[in-house]
Structure 1
Amino acid sequence: MSKYLLNKFLYTVDRDPELVERYREDPVDTVTWWEQEKANEILNCAVAEKSTWLAFTDDERKALREQDHVALFGLGAHPFLTLTLFIAMFERDHDPLEYQKAYGRVLRQHYALPYPEIAT
């Protein structure tokens, strides 16, 4: 599993309003496109530089396509990255702070357990 790639997806999508909307409306196509076109671009690189080895695991791909923040957390995605992206996608569908509270409630089950390492 590549926590780096998982977090890179969340980070890059969250910072582009058009990608946020694309991911909200069509997560399957967005994840497939991003993995094929963007996954192997080096972040913050002055010259066009690419790698060829990064790919999501089946579990990561499934969690991203289903927009399942609990599964993403269990796979090692940083909770701040999932929270900020999912707020951008779903907060508008809820009353103020309602989404954030629901996000915390469903992750509460992980607080008492040894949770995944989230250091980046």
Structure 2
Amino acid sequence: MSKYLVNKFLYTIDRDPELVERYREDPEGTVAWWEAEKAGEILNLPSGERTTWLSFTDEERQALRTHDHVALFAMGAHNFLTLTLWIAMFERDFTEPLGMQLDYAAKLSHFALPYPDIST
């Protein structure tokens, strides 16, 4: 897994409210668009130049498309990046205080120390 590429996706989506909404409403399209159009900007590649390093694996792509923060964490995505993005996308769907955060944590509760390596 390219933890850097996945983390960069999460970070850049989270920093743009329009992209947050786009990713919430059309995760498959957003992941495909970002991978095709934005991943190359990470290394400032000339237009049209590609490298396999700037592609998600099938497993990463699936987890991103399905908003599966548990799978992303298991693969080494940084939990703070998924948490802040998930708050922006899903907190509004919960009525109780901290409901989204508690749900997020509950879904990760089966992990024990040592946690997956989140370093890039």
Whether TM exceeds 0.5 here: the answer is: yes
Cα deviation, residue 113, structure 1: 4.8
Highest relative contact order (Cα 8 Å, sep 6+), 1 or 2? 2
| 1:99 is aligned to 2:97 | no
Counterpart secondary structure, 2:117: coil
- For residues 5 and 75 of structure 1, what CA distance do their matches in structure 2 show? 12
Query: What is the total number of aligned residue pairs between the two structures?
Result: 114
- For residues 98 and 66 of structure 1, what CA distance do their matches in structure 2 show? 20
1:38 matched to which residue of 2? 38
2:11 matched to which residue of 1? 11
- Deviations 1:37-64 (CA, angstroms, capped at 9, x unpaired): 0011127xxxxx2262210000000000
- Deviations 1:46-103 (CA, angstroms, capped at 9, x unpaired): xxx2262210000000000000000010111000000000100000111221000110
What value does the CA root-mean-square deviation take over the aligned residues? 1.3
- For residues 23 and 74 of structure 1, what CA distance do their matches in structure 2 show? 21
1:62 matched to which residue of 2? 62
2:77 matched to which residue of 1? 77
Give ranges in structure 2 of 5+ residues lacking alignment. none
After TM superposition, the score normalised by the length of structure 2 is: 0.90
| 1:27 is aligned to 2:36 | no
After TM superposition, the score normalised by the length of structure 1 is: 0.90
2:50 matched to which residue of 1? 52
- For residues 11 and 40 of structure 2, what CA distance do their matches in structure 1 show? 14
Give ranges in structure 1 of 5+ residues lacking alignment. 44-48
Cα deviation, residue 2, structure 1: 0.3
